[in-house]
Amino acid sequence: MKIALYPGTFDPVTNGHIDIIKRASRLIDKVIVGVLHNPAKKPFFTVQERIDLLKAVTSNMENVEVDSFSGLLVDYVKQRKIDVIIRGLRAVSDFEYEFQMALMNRKLNPEVETFFMMTSTEYSYLSSSIVKEVFQHNGCIDGLVPDVVIKAMEKNNYKII
Q: Which residues pair with 69 in a beta bridge?
A: 36
Which residue blocks in 5-72 are alpha helix, DSSP H?
15-27, 47-57
Residues labelled as active-site residues = 17, 41, 90, 128
Whether 93 and 87 have beta carbons less than 8 Å apart is answered as: no
Whether 81 and 3 have beta carbons less than 8 Å apart is answered as: yes
Number of Cβ within a 10 Å radius of residue 57? 23
CA–CA gap between residue 87 and residue 126 (Å, rounded): 15
CA distance to 72, 102, 109, 113, per residue, from 105 (Å): 9, 5, 6, 8
